[in-house]
Chain A
């Protein structure tokens, strides 16, 4: 049972563009929504996370938008660079904790020069 649906599966954006990755969840008990970035051969690394009491969070060029009523959240990357090319995973969990994170299936992002 997939509780976090992520789209698109892959995305190609020109340098400087704004890739947007979307996730939708079903479990209304989820209260912690992190995004992870993974490069080939490496483990995922936490990029940015949000809790449902805010609708947007920015960290550098990365922004999470959160829509609690629609049960959706998205990652935006401003001024994208070739070095941002990686696989991005959204995730969700309950009780603000990291245990039993439910992950989306990932988006392979390619930024072309």
Chain B
């Protein structure tokens, strides 16, 4: 596909369960980002991958959150022991290099019941 693809588009889970969110960036893009968008809020930076460098995890809100990027392409954001405050839209973006335009996916809407 031409754009950033995220799956699933919607996820409903029970409090305490683990969830995995997937992001397929645009082919050839070296930089990949995860952001979280809560209702009525702006986007909150979570984590950033650049090539083979160690990711910048400084935005992850707790140790229940982790992310990996395999083979410099697909990324998975994992949230363990989900809480109700984790409910949000999780957005993935990619860019050719760090200072080229960001391309966002349509997000995964996570609802924790």
Contact = CB atoms under 8 A, between A and B. Distances in A.
Contacts, number: 63
Size class of the B contact interface (CB-based, 8 Å):
20 to 34
Interface stretch (A41-49, A52-60, A61-69, A72-80): A41-49
Interface in B15-43: 31, 33, 35, 40-43
A45 B3 CA distance: 11
Interface string A24-55: 00000000101000000111111001000000
A8 interface: no
Contact of A99 (B42, B91, B98): B98
Interface in B97-113: 98-102, 104-107
Given A42-B106, A43-B104, A97-B99, A104 B33 contact: no
Contacts of A41: 106
Interface in A68-113: 89, 91, 96-106
Size class of the A contact interface (CB-based, 8 Å):
20 to 34
A49 B59 CA distance: 23
B70 interface: no
A103 B43 contact: yes
Interface of B: 4, 31, 33, 35, 40-45, 48, 50, 56, 58-59, 91, 93, 95, 98-102, 104-107
Given A43-B93, A100-B45, 7 more contacts: A98-B100, A99-B48, A100-B58, A101-B35, A101-B43, A103-B43, A105-B40
